[in-house]
Amino acid sequence: MTLATAVLATALTGTPSTATTTPAPSPAAPPPSDRALAAQPARHDLTREQFYLALPDRFANGDTSNDRGGLTGTRMETGFDPTDKKFFQGGDLKGLTERLDYIKGLGTTALWMAPVFTNIPVQNRGDAKDASAGYHGYWITDFTRVDPHFGTNEDLKRLIAAAHAKGMKVFFDVITNHTADTVDYAEKEYGYRPKGAFPYLDDTGRPFDDTAEAPRVDADSFPYTPAATTRTKVPAWLNDPTMYHNRGDSTFVGESGLYGDFFGHDDLWTERPEVVEGMKRIYEKWVEDFAIDGFRVDTAKNVNMEFWTQWATALDAYAEKRGREDFFMFAEAFSADATITAPYVTQGRLDSTLDFPLQSALRNYVSRGGPAGDLAHVLAQDHRYTTDKANAYEQVTFLGSHDMGRIGTFLAQDNPGATDAELLRRDRLAHELLLLSRGNPVVYAGDEQGFTGAGGDADARQSLFASQVPDYLDDDLIGTDRTHATDAFDPGHPLYRMIARLSGLTKRHPALRDGVQIERHVAEGQGVYAFSRVDPRNRIEYLVAVNNAEEPRTAEVPTGAAHQDLLPLYGTRRPLRSGPAGAVTVTVPALSAVVLKARTPLPHRAGAPSLTLSVPPAGARGTVEIGATLSGDPLTRVVFAAQAGNRPWQVLGSADHAPYKVTQNLPADTPAGTPLRYKAVAVDGSGRTAAALGTTTTGENPPPAKPKAERRYVVVHYRRQDGDHDGLRLRTGSVTAEFAGRDSYGAFAWVAPPEGATSLSFTVEKDGVPDGPERVLDVTAAGEVWTRQGSTLLDATRPAAAQLPQDPAKALIHYHRPDGDYDGWGLHAWTGAAHPPEWNDPIRPVRRDAFGLVFEVPLSERARSLSYILHKKEEKDVPTDEALDFRLHGREVWRLAGDPVPLSPSLGGAFPLDLSRRDAVWLDDTTVVWRGAGTGVASQQLVYAPGGIVLTAGALSDEGRWLRLTPATLSADQRARHPGYEDWSAFSLDPRDLDRAAEARRGQLIATQRAADGALLGATGVQLPTH
């Protein structure tokens, strides 16, 4: 970020100075006036709510007659089994209505319910032991009706009316990402098929990008062939299988997070306008028919951002027309990185997100005794949530949930052997930080009763009424001797009483809920974290200090004024007085929080504010930051606005404390060189203003490039007869490389071939002496070869000696760092891992060898891939999540630091990229063969186009139309008729494409192999059948 290229400070009169370094271009429209920007609100919608999250099935049973949802039969038909944590327990809407006073007693102002729509009673993919009921509400079949297990639509209306009568809002949990699993695949396979290797095809067989167009499709257009089951959904359009992505199960890495089935559930094709419109109408109907106050949006991270921009904007407008101007929608975007969560507010136009970054920091600070700097780091990202209609004060904050697990669970896991008294102190501290920090806090039903549990999901969904679930009965609760065998609606529980007390405190002192939050002190390492909360209208300062150490800690904490008396409100009885520099000496007891209130308001500053604007450097693109520095009243607020080209000026939002900054997202279609104009207006506590202008220009967005298989290294495997591979080096010209890798074949080395090289000459040396003849490698044909001592032969096909059976129960990841610094590096894993670790407690290497670290990851049953991140605390080896697809790479890979592409096995096709050759043979009507298989090949197809195709920079000039190929085995009859191809790889034409086979044979025909991202690994001509 640089200083503005033009800075114009204004006085109270608004008259600009003439100071400028570069003349700014004349804007198409003048910027908003100082007065208009100064009038922008500092807070939006909801900033003082206290949520209570309840699953209707697990809260209270008010009507036993609906326990089976009106269904008959066994638990597999009704979904009801009070002894199984994965089945309905009997809770319902009447139970919630009857217990509203209990919820209200905590200080609750908003009830957030898990989904209540009609669900598939039991979901079962053929394995009864994995069967589960739809008790949680996320497997919807009817979006228009309350699930009969919970009651009726009228029961829901009565609940909402009763909650409103008690001063509580009601929020629905809604889903747009997926429905119940009623669409099966004819192939009976469910591994994720990526867009690059398996694009959507229109009804002519042409691949298309669904983010750019929505042509006519049918059931043949998808990677899998969708087939609807007999169970129907409501509304009726949801029964059309072409309204879903149909790509297989998500690995939750990369595009699969958007396009894959969420644990097998039908993933809606939200890129299509029909789905956007359908989902909009579904939830507009609930807004119209029920007096709800907002939505919690499930799995927002698994839906494309463009959907949210359209859907949220439409729902906001619809609610406003019906008198719900403060209708509030907050998103679940499961990430501890604010750069990932914030765009759902700034670009998706939702009002808020569940604050996963803060949850992670709170857990680490309170439960693990982590550094206070973790809290500071997260809160320093608050500007990322600022828009013209939202800011971080609307964030929905929490300690745990029905998905990830309870705070009580985390405390017990992180502190093995801790006494109940210690766990209770930590639990109290967690809730104190939650309720006293910015945002709208959530209490998850049962946390106020000290619930724990073995983990997330079903293990974190204990009922508040007496349970019969054996796993729940084994739980050790915090702060009580009771078990889950009895009801848990105890207002005398120490956590219930503490939460209620803090809620009362924040109600009497609302600055503790949404006052300006100013960081005051951050301990180095463990210890005191302190911040002020100030209502800029009355200027009364509240000082909050917390301590996560197991002994009292004392800190010198700055405040907003010198010689200021601070009176105790919570956690202490000792008043304090600030010194001449405004600092106070605060002692915070172990695992505790203290709150003090200033006796008098903060003084006003004599002079008007002065402001300097900082804008992005020329060449801006993507998400950029705009900042301001100012002098004057510390409670000054800065409002930012921007204009791109001749577009209207847009308010970017306001910042109420230093450092003053906001973000702006520049659309990818913004032309390079577009003028960007900015204005900032500072408003101090006396209403005085100052303003500044600045300009810059946009840069060139890189043009979309076709994926290309980059061959960064050549890998040479070498085997000596005596097995002694120590002291080996590979020499090519003046470059040498150690044979640092070891595998079942022998040793391997890797070198980067010179740019533009087509061949590479090399020798292998042993202790500086040549260990055999010089060899020549064709780098255009193979990136990984095998050779033996004394032989000049190079085999591009992995030999049998290098193909030892792999253990299906574990994955092996070898990790090499050129700097040799392996301290602190670990592996975080989720999809496919038998025991996914916590981020702060990653999988450790089992050993270190000549190559580097070796990680062994036990795999879950039937795992098809492993999703993982190599990291050292917050430092990631590569910025994106990674997925090891066992079908493409096997269960063992060798990785180089900073490179997500495996060093070995390396990508490579069965034939080179050469359209002058014809290495593929169309054997008969439905079969194509070629020699070899390749490595990392995700798909293969025949490509044809009326105008012809050429190779350009490793990609086809035209993707034409596709005939998809599936791996096959030659029949005995085929082997007898074509004995020369007996050992070749065989492929069958996809039956869905056979009607275009004759058309394809009339002209140029190309066989291609693709990597997962669609990069060409091989491209060759096809020998056509003679008949």
Q: If you ran DSSP here, which 8-state letter would residue 252 be given?
A: S
CB 409 within 8 A of CB 400: yes
Q: Which of 181, 332, 374, 388 is catalytic?
A: 332
795: β partners: 786
What is the spatial distance between Cα 320 and Cα 654, in angstroms, rounded to a whole number? 23
Q: Tell how strand 759-766 and strand 747-751 pair up.
A: unpaired
Instruction: List Cβ neighbours of 726 (8 Å cut-off, separation of 6 or more).
Output: none
What is the spatial distance between Cα 513 and Cα 438, in angstroms, rounded to a whole number? 6
CB 592 within 8 A of CB 425: yes
Tell me if residue 913 falls in helix, strand or coil.
strand
Here the tokens at position 926 are 């439905």
DSSP states along 5-46:
SS---B-TT-PBP---SSPPPPPSSPPPPHHHHHTS-SS-S-
Q: How far is CA 747 from CA 501, 717, 737, in A?
A: 67, 6, 12
* Cβ count within 10 A of residue 204: 10
Question: Can 298 be counted among the known catalytic residues?
Answer: yes
What is the residue type of 630? L
Residue corresponding to tokens 């228009």: 144
Tell me if residue 684 falls in helix, strand or coil.
coil
CB 715 within 8 A of CB 783: yes
Q: How far is CA 395 from CA 302, 390, 503, 974, in A?
A: 20, 9, 18, 65
- Nearest residue to 669 via CA among 648, 697, 646, 700: 700
DSSP states along 408-455:
HHHHHHHSTT--HHHHHHHHHHHHHHHHHSSSEEEEETTGGGT---SS
Question: Can 325 be counted among the known catalytic residues?
Answer: no
Q: Tell how strand 117-119 and strand 183-185 pair up.
A: unpaired
Q: Which of 49, 84, 298, 541 is catalytic?
A: 298
Q: How far is CA 205 from CA 20, 463, 599, 696, in A?
A: 59, 52, 75, 45
Here the tokens at position 275 are 């789905």
Q: If you ran DSSP here, which 8-state letter would residue 181 be given?
A: S
Burial of 796 (0-12, 13-18, 19+ CB in 10 A): middle
Q: Tell how strand 650-655 and strand 117-119 pair up.
A: unpaired
Q: Which residues are catalytic?
A: 298, 332
